[in-house]
Amino acid sequence: MFPEAFIKRLRSDLGITEANALLETLQSPPPVTIRINPRKIKDAWKELALPIAAPLDISEYGFLLSQRPVFTNDPLFQSGCYYVQESSSMVLEHYFSYADIHPDKEFNVLDLCAAPGGKSTHLLSLLHGIPGAMLVSNEVIHSRVTILADNLSRWGDSNVVVTHNDPSDFGKLKHFFDVILIDAPCSGEGMFRKDAGAVAEWSEDNVTRCAARQRRIISDAIESLKPGGLLIYSTCTFNHFENEDNTKWTASEFGMEILEQEHLYPGKAYGEGLFMAALRMKGTSSKNFISEITRKSVTKPYYKAEIPFLREKFIPISKGNLLKAYPSDCLDRMFFIESKLKTIRSASSIATILTDRNGKTTLIPEPDLAFSEVLKRNIFPEVELTYNDISRFLRCETMTFHDSPKGYLLLTYLGHPVGFVKNIGSRANNLWPVSRRVRLSHIIDE
Ligand code: SAM
């Protein structure tokens, strides 16, 4: 079932007993694990209607489930209250702790190979509460960047710019990032457990090609790391060519120190298998020089009118008829990134600005506003829905709210905002985007 050359290499790297145990684990179904969004969920056991079996040691936000539910049917999955992620990836939390964080300095993080967004959502949770912390979440493959942007919208943090660039484009951001995560495309031996296609695609030649590509990616991005900055490198493959050989090469090529590296093999951890390493660049960083440059040079289209549903520390900016909210302590740097890279999404989209013939403006809430940290609660009238009714909403059905005020209503499920409708009395227009429509959501017998 597995390629002979793969089995042979595993046995020579790990010894026969460990390799055989690993091969056996690779044939069993993978465990199901989730990571909660700590901004939205405080007590997973009480707040999530999921079959939680145990907390995970690897992350304070991780939980093991006893079976796999249909996640897309869960309104709290749809509204970014948790992310479904294999558990070894959550070791990121430990490797991120090597980052040098100073409360009085800007803090810029790059997730270079980010789609579909597992590690970016985790990074955002780790950045939460760090003043001036900003994430650039990048994906080079066009077909994967939309799902990345969508997952980050649902997560709801506003201090993130989603970009669609080749790693070589990051050379122009010399010494900008404090932390760079390279979760590199790899030969995917860790995917063998759940993806037969990964087994079929595997070959020794592909391992060699992947290792060379990973070195190119590291070389392209490394210029943008600050002196003293942290590089976190990971793959979901087991071989040393793409892992230890590459970290050793990186350390000697760019004068870096390997702080820690490890394999998390399936069987030992609940996950599917991951290699992660932390490397520090020599030197110490100069202070906030990029912010100084950008503050002087970029003019920003501030939106002047008062926005009652916007929380205080966020700055409204209009781009065409789209109104967005930026965190005040990242605004300059987010504009700087937007000017340098191909930006797919940045900050939080909060409303579409509609101007009538007399110049009167109306703000139509953007769907992403419901998920976002920038939303001030209880400004829009809120309507808590049952599971069946929120499922109808997620299917984009037209609904009625005879007992609610006319105008925009914020719909919640178990207290969490999910989306908006415009109540016009006889019916309510559903503002859940068709692109996110949940086609298979089921209705429970009432
Ligand atoms: N970090 C993601 C997460 O946690 O959800 C998974 C990333 S996946 C292991 C590797 C990513 O690298 C994929 O999204 C893939 O599209 C992207 N990729 C493929 N070729 C690349 C290249 N030449 N340079 C940079 N990224 C590439």
pLDDT of residue 443: 62
Expressed in angstroms and rounded, the spacing between residue 139 Cα and the centre of ligand 1 is 7
Q: Report the pLDDT value the prediction gives residue 272, as an integer from 0 to 100.
A: 86
CB 83, CB 76: distance < 8 Å = no
Query: CA-based angle 262:265:270, to the nearest 5?
Result: 115
Convert the pLDDT of each residue in 65-82 to its tens digit. 999 999 999 999 999 999
What structural domains does the chain harbor?
88-281 (3.40.50.150), 297-376 (no CATH), 378-446 (3.10.450.720)
Of all protein residues, the one whose alpha carbon is nearest to atom 2 of ligand 1 is: 114
CA distance 8 to 1: 13
Q: What is the pLDDT of residues 212-268, one digit of tens each?
A: 999 999 999 999 999 999 999 999 999 999 999 999 999 999 999 999 999 999 887
Report the separation in Å between the CA atom of 185 and the middle of ligand 1, taken as the mean of its atom positions.
Answer: 5
Tokens 């394999």, located at residue:
263
- What is the per-residue pLDDT for 196? 83
- Ligand 1 within 6 A of 119 CB? yes
pLDDT number for residue 441: 58
Active site residue 330: no
When pLDDT is averaged across residues 78-105 and rounded to a whole number, the result is 94
Q: Which is the closest atom of ligand 1 to the Cα of 186?
A: 9
How does pLDDT run across 359-394, given as a tens digit for each residue? 999 999 999 999 999 999 999 999 999 999 999 999
Q: Quick check: CB of 69 below 6 Å from ligand 1?
A: no
Provide the pLDDT for residue 285. 75
Q: Is 167 in the pocket of ligand 1 (CB under 6 A)?
A: yes
Determine whether the shortest distance from the Cβ of 118 to ligand 1 is under 6 A.
yes
Q: Is 185 a pocket residue for ligand 1 (Cβ < 6 Å)?
A: yes
CB of 117 closer than 6 angstroms to any ligand 1 atom = yes
113, 186, 210, 236: the active-site residue: 236
Q: Which residue has the higher pLDDT, 104 or 324?
A: 324
| CA 17 – ligand 1 centroid, Å | 32
- Residue 288 banded pLDDT, cuts 50, 70, 90: low
pTM of this structure:
0.96
Query: Is 220 touching ligand 1 by the criterion CB < 6 Å?
Result: no
The alpha carbon of 112 and the centre of ligand 1 are apart by a number of angstroms equal to 8
Nearest CA to ligand 1 atom 17: 113
With the most atoms of ligand 1 within 8 angstroms of its CB, the residue from 141, 206, 215, 275 to mutate is 141
Spacing, Cα 235 to ligand 1 middle (Å):
10
